[in-house]
Amino acid sequence: MDSFARTLKNWRQTRRMSQLDLALTAEVSSRHISFLETGRARPSRAMIARLGDALQMPLAPRNTMLLQAGFAPLYPARPWDDAAMAPVRTAVAHTLQRHAPFPGIAIDQLWRIVQMNAPAARLFGGLGLVTGDSLLDAMTGAHLPQAIANWPDVAHHAAQRLRLESLAQGGVPELDRAAACLGRVQGQSAEVQEPFVPMKIMLGDLCLSLFATIAQFGTAADLTLHDLRIELYFPADDATRKLLESPPDDSG
C-alpha cells in the first residue's frame, strides 16, 4: 500500500466511516474509494479536495495527501509577521483590545501564546508566562498547577479538550502527551455545580475566577491562520469582575 492510500484509509478510519459512507459523502463510487485505498487508482487534485472535504480534514493533512499523490501542496503556512497576515494581526489585536479589561490571548495549534492584551499580560505575567510561551508546558509543569485552586477540575477538562483537538487533526503527539499527563491528575470534583468549570487562579491573596470562550477564523486557507484560536476570558463572579475592572496598580 502506498503512502497516499495508507493516509486515506487512516483518515477514513479515524472518522469512523466505511468505504460506502465516504463514497456517498464524496459523491463517488465505493469501488473507486476501494481502488484508491489499495493503490489501484490514482487521485486527481480535485478528488483529493473532495475527499478532504468529506473527511473534514485539517489543511496540513490535505497538503500531505497532495504531496503523496505527486502534487504541490495547496495551503501555505505564512509566518505571523508576513505582510499577507496584516489583516489577521489587525483583527486579532482589535478583538483582544476591545475585550479589555478582561484577559484575552491568541494561541496556535500547540497552545503557544501568539498575542495577548494588556490584562492577559498582567495575569499571565504573574504566572510566569509571556508571549511565545507554551501553555502545554505550563500545564504539565510544576508552577501553574499550584496557582490554580481547582486544578483537578481544570486539568480534567483541559485533557478532554486536548484529546478532541488531537483527534480532529488526525493525531498530534504534543497534544496527546499533554492530555495523558493531565489525565493522571487526581481529585476531580464529583459534582458539577455550575454551568461551566471556571479556572480559579490564585495571585497572592487574590483569587480570580474565569471562564473562556474560543473563536477561530472560519474561512482560513493558510495553516497558521487555520490553527489560530482566540481565547477570551470572562469573570465567573462579581469579585473577579470588580478586580479586573479596577484600574491596574502600576506603582510597583
pLDDT tens for the chain, 252 residues long, are: 589 999 999 999 999 999 999 999 999 999 999 999 999 999 999 999 999 999 999 999 999 999 999 999 999 999 999 999 999 999 999 999 999 999 999 999 999 999 999 999 999 999 999 999 999 999 999 999 999 999 999 999 999 999 999 999 989 999 999 999 999 998 877 676 778 899 999 988 899 999 999 999 988 999 999 999 999 999 999 999 999 998 876 654
Q: Which CATH class is domain 3-68?
A: mainly alpha
pLDDT of residue 165: 95
For 50, counting Cβ atoms within 10 Å of its Cβ (0-12 exposed, 13-18 middle, 19+ buried), the class is middle
Instruction: Say if residues 77 and 105 touch (Cβ distance below 8 Å).
Output: no
Q: What is the CATH number assigned to the segment(s) 83-245?
A: 3.30.450.20
pLDDT of residue 113: 97
Residue 233 vs residues 137, 162, 188, 197, 246: alpha-carbon distances, Å: 20, 18, 22, 12, 16
pLDDT of residue 188: 79
- Going by C-alpha positions, the residue among 143, 140, 115, 119 that lies closest to residue 130 is 115
Domains of the chain, by residue range, sit at: 3-68, 83-245
pLDDT of residue 61: 95
- Going by C-alpha positions, the residue among 133, 102, 134 that lies closest to residue 118 is 102
